[in-house]
Structure 1
Amino acid sequence: MTRSPAPPPAPAPVRTSRWVWAVLAALYVLAFPYHPGLRSPNELCRLWQTRALVEYGTLDINQALRDYGYVGDLSVKDGKYYPSKAPLMSFAAVPLYAALRAAGGGFRYAVPEIPLVFFSRLLLTVLPTLAMLWAVRRFLLAYVSPAVSDGVTVTYGLGSLAYSYSLLFMSHQPTAVLLFGGFYALWRCARDEWRERGYLVAGAFAGATVAAEYTGALGVGGLVLYAALGLLGRPEPWRTRLVRMGRALGLATLGALPFVAALMLYHQATFGHPLASGYKYLNDAAYQPWHLGGFLGIRYPDPRAFLLSFFSPLRGLFTLSPFLLLALPGLVLMRREARASGEWRALFWLTAVLLAGYTYFTSSFSYDSWGWTTGPRHLTGLVPFLLLPIAWLLERLRASHHPGLLGAAAAACAVSILITGAVTLINYVPDQVSSALLALTVPLLKAGYLTPTVLSFWGVPQPLAAAPLLLALLTMAAWAFLRLGSPEHTRPTGAVLAGGALLAGLLLAAQLPGTAHHAGDQEALRLLESVWLTPPGKAVPFWPSASL
């Protein structure tokens, strides 16, 4: 009697080398695209309120404007000036500012602008995003292989708006972090991996989201839908499901209440009504029309706003991060899974509703209001919810017999890292530029105007201080292509390489038609070169002596 051969051993799971995560973290921590001469309004108006809270104990920033210089993005009510933004970021920076003030000598001018901006970004936008990347990877691992989970997580971290707005002290990426944190808590509860107290955590994240950015309420609405679908789809009697839903709602409300109440008290103290935000009292009359009409400036969709928000060579979402287009066929595949699984059904509708809602928002709001940023900034909160359909599509392609398509999809991820990563190292994109990559970023890099880095503060001149970051971006793009473009348990084939090369060439060539190299481009280049923190051959001090 012959014995049947033993089954082959299961292949060992592919693990990501630690150097990948170290390089990714270095690209976050070392890069410091900031130029004091630009007087970055979105960042400094928040930090000026932080200064006012610590130095004078006031919510208004009138004295801070006199002591530290004028900034933009303000609201004015009864002669008092406030940031026009939601207040969470200003308050979150208070302990940090107090610590820096004590370290600098404890007097009013003890904290110079550069270290204030650097540490505020590091602790309140950079490190939270790095922690979020761990949660993103953990979430994706529940549905796809480690190779796809790692590749998509790295692409999100370096090839999307997550990277751009982690390197700015603005609320857009913190809002994405808070939204995904709330989703992650709901997801763990839905899988019975957390106790019901997890809904308290989800509620706290949701409340903090609205306190960080008013438009975050759109994402919170999607989370409510996801939680409801998950609870209603459980295999339990209806009465049990309704009771469970009531407890979840109560816990989530309890978690959100401190943040919502604090936000309403802030509005009452600053603008005279719990529901009145700073956008009602904008100081700059030129910005007021953007927020008039419709609901808080949201009107009927405008084809121009839609096309420019997604496809403009200046700041189109898909132009800068073409891998996000993979979410569309990925959603089709998710829909098929949703027919047989309540878990997939809730995930599908969460993604579809958020995509539709954010698309409507960016298409009906004034496109011109996104100004001087990398990409359409108010879509930052949407991006992490597109990762599962992208990862699911890549997983299916790796298991299929379509190597050309797999190579193209992997190339879309690599090109996203190259484009968005390079533009992020500039991160201030004037409105008159024709193309963020070819008309602004590439000319600046060729002229030696590379991003300021921590190495610059250690005395390393440009281009030596920033060259390692550009090399790291190239390395991570190549790694993402090889990681995602490898069919299961094999290396990339010739067909994969050919498909990848073809699409990469097409995506990069697509940048050419919109690049005008007109007078606006030259004006923007001259402006940025004139204010560049670390021009070629120059090093700057990190903590210059305070001027009284």
Structure 2
Amino acid sequence: MYAVLVALYVLLFPYHPGLRSPNELCRLWQTRALVEYGTLDINRALQDFGYVGDLSVKDGRYYPSKAPLLSFAAVPVYAVLRWWGGGFLYAVPEVPLVFFSRLFLTVLPTLFMLWLVRRFLRAYLSPAVADAVTVTYGLGSLAFSYSLLFMSHQTTAVLLFGGFYALWRLARGEWRERGYLVVGACAGATVAAEYTGALGVLGLVLYAVLTVLWREEPMRARWVRLGRGAALATLGALPFVVGLMLYHQAAFGHPLESGYKHLNDAAYQPWHLGGFLGIRYPDPRAFVLSFFSPLRGLFTLSPFLLLALPGVVVMRREARTSGEMRAHLWLVVALLAGYTYFTSSFSYDSWGWTTGPRHLTGLVPFLLLPVGLLLERLRTGGRLALLGASAALCTASLVFTGAATFVNYIPDDVSNAFLGLAVPLLKDGYLPPSLPQFMGLGNPAAGVLLGLSLLGLAGWVFVRLVWLETRVPGPVPLVAGLAMLAVLLSVQVATVKHHDADRGAVRFLKQQWLVPPGRTVEFWPSPSGS
């Protein structure tokens, strides 16, 4: 089961060079500039390797508008590929650069995170529920989509959960105090990867304070412990924070001034002006579309996350007798409130060609415990109909998000990401590019194999949740699950328009597809500049 999940992560490669993916390439062009020219600006990289978007400009020098961590982290990957390719300027083609940068910096860290997620959930849930929730998160949420893109959103989720995991082990007395260095490093790296990751860091600070102050020891000892922990965490964060400030100083002339103050495209400036990085007062339209839009709503693509809302009620009941669960509850509520305010206050139109509301990626792993607690309560309480319906939400999440991730570049004017874009492309043979294709296994065999693997895991999640170890559950969960799937599919059918924008998006992506039906492509073509 986990082997299939790993295979999907490692083998899938949704990438189409013709789209000139700005969020990814602006970072990798800075990586090229650091290695090839020893510069932070990417002026020469733009000349040598082609223009990309998502840029900032200061005094005639161009930089990525993004936080710089991934650009710097990709330097050793690029350096090794450059050496392997012959050591000259054009030694590394774009496709292998994107593939290996994703593999080492977004895919493998997420797979390690999934191992941590499962270990964490197993402390509170049965193996069946912990396994099912872990797989659903891995393939039915934004984690899947953004692990397969060289963007910072899943990197932020990995770092935030890593910091949380360290705090959790510290609170349980399973790690020594120097574990706060790990917490600080994760927090500092989070901000260096994505500026708005600071929101999640504030949640970790709250959790850290609560887990120390609610310890059963004299108050003076608690404050001493909190002070030492804060000092160690600050020490761990310092290299990343200082490095980020030095980068800002060198690129934009001030340690606290980011690239968003100097965007090259004037049309994007209004999205980032006012408030904090563009976060202003809540807008009902942004709230509704971020969570319920058929194009990229969080709950539309990952309906299993709806279970987190009643799951918070279950957490609250358990928190009455457990200080540990009380700290989890406060963390979940704080992050849910903070991220909801953020997505409701930031311009919805700025999400770009993405799968789901990308800036909510850091929130999702912290909703898994309430989801799991609710599922556990339904299993042990014998509420088989509700259990079947809830399991179907998990299954549907794998199907909806998985299909969208097979495309992973979702135009803004599509009516419905699943039925309006992903399904038409897949039906016409535009299956996701993948490593087996580069190794000689053509379509449809390679794409169908990956698609069947995803559907197989979706079915496995349902069975794992509804199959009770103590007795045969009977037909009730299956009937309830099928009914829930029918409702979810009816919503999908009702919201897809198949209008000109849908058809235009499908036609456009077909023209840009890396490996169209009946075609092959070289993974590492001979460079034109050799």
TM-score in terms of structure 1 length: 0.96
Match of 1:58 among 9, 27, 39: 39
Q: Which amino acid aligns with 2:315?
A: M
Q: Distance in 1 between matches of 2:132 and 2:446?
A: 27
Match of 1:74 among 55, 70, 75: 55
Q: CA deviation at 1:539?
A: 1.1
Q: Distance in 2 between matches of 1:393 and 1:487?
A: 15
- The corresponding residue for 2:296 is 315
Q: Which amino acid aligns with 1:40?
A: S
- The corresponding residue for 2:12 is 31
Q: Which amino acid aligns with 2:47?
A: R
Q: CA deviation at 1:201?
A: 0.6
Match of 1:456 among 412, 437, 460: 437
Q: Distance in 1 between matches of 2:245 and 2:73?
A: 17
Runs of 4+ in 1 over 6 A off after TM superposition: none
Q: Which moved more, 1:521-530 or 1:155-164?
A: 521-530
- The corresponding residue for 1:13 is none
Q: CA deviation at 1:59?
A: 0.1
Q: Distance in 2 between matches of 1:69 and 1:459?
A: 29
Whether 1:521 aligns to 2:502 is yes
Q: CA deviation at 1:463?
A: 1.4
- The corresponding residue for 1:121 is 102
Whether 1:174 aligns to 2:155 is yes
Q: Which amino acid aligns with 1:345?
A: R
- The corresponding residue for 2:229 is 248
Match of 1:376 among 342, 352, 357: 357
**Structure 1 stretches lacking a partner, 5+ long:** 1-19
How many residue pairs are counted as aligned between the two chains?
A: 529
Q: CA deviation at 1:488?
A: 4.1
| Contact residue 460 and residue 539 of structure 1 kept, 8 A | no
- Report the identity percentage: 73
- The corresponding residue for 1:364 is 345
- The corresponding residue for 2:459 is 478
Q: CA deviation at 1:460?
A: 2.1
Give the match's secondary structure for 1:268. Answer: helix
Q: CA deviation at 1:371?
A: 1.3
Give deviations 1:226-260, integer Å, cap 9, x for gaps. 00000000011110100000001001000000000
Q: Which amino acid aligns with 2:415?
A: S
1:320-335 matches, within 5 Å, as 320-335=301-316
Match of 1:223 among 171, 183, 204: 204
Q: CA deviation at 1:513?
A: 1.9
Q: CA deviation at 1:461?
A: 2.0
Q: Which amino acid aligns with 1:506?
A: V
| Contact residue 398 and residue 486 of structure 1 kept, 8 A | no
- The corresponding residue for 1:143 is 124
Give deviations 1:501-535, integer Å, cap 9, x for gaps. 11111111111222111111111111100010000
1:405-484 matches, within 5 Å, as 405-484=386-465
Q: Distance in 2 between matches of 1:347 and 1:295?
A: 27
Whether 1:260 aligns to 2:280 is no
Q: CA deviation at 1:334?
A: 0.3
Q: Distance in 2 between matches of 1:68 and 1:119?
A: 18
- The corresponding residue for 1:288 is 269
| Contact residue 222 and residue 354 of structure 1 kept, 8 A | yes
Q: Distance in 2 between matches of 1:411 and 1:398?
A: 14
Whether 1:108 aligns to 2:99 is no
- The corresponding residue for 1:214 is 195
Change (3 A) 1:22 1:367: same
Give the match's secondary structure for 2:445. Answer: coil
Output the aligned Cα RMSD.
Answer: 0.7
Q: Distance in 2 between matches of 1:493 and 1:45?
A: 54
**Structure 2 stretches lacking a partner, 5+ long:** none
Q: Which amino acid aligns with 2:463?
A: L
Q: CA deviation at 1:279?
A: 0.4
Q: Which amino acid aligns with 2:150?
A: F
Q: Which moved more, 1:148-157 or 1:332-341?
A: 332-341
Q: Higher helix fraction: Structure 1 or Structure 2?
A: 2
Q: CA deviation at 1:465?
A: 1.7
Q: Which amino acid aligns with 1:136?
A: V
Give the match's secondary structure for 1:425. Answer: helix
| Contact residue 114 and residue 543 of structure 1 kept, 8 A | yes
Q: CA deviation at 1:491?
A: 4.0
Q: Which amino acid aligns with 2:204?
A: L
Give the match's secondary structure for 2:62. Answer: strand
TM-score in terms of structure 2 length: 0.99
Q: Which amino acid aligns with 1:423?
A: A
Q: Which amino acid aligns with 1:352?
A: V
Q: Which moved more, 1:31-40 or 1:503-512?
A: 503-512
- The corresponding residue for 1:4 is none
- The corresponding residue for 1:350 is 331
Q: Which moved more, 1:484-493 or 1:333-342?
A: 484-493
| Contact residue 398 and residue 488 of structure 1 kept, 8 A | no
Match of 1:510 among 462, 476, 491: 491
- The corresponding residue for 1:190 is 171
- The corresponding residue for 2:520 is 539
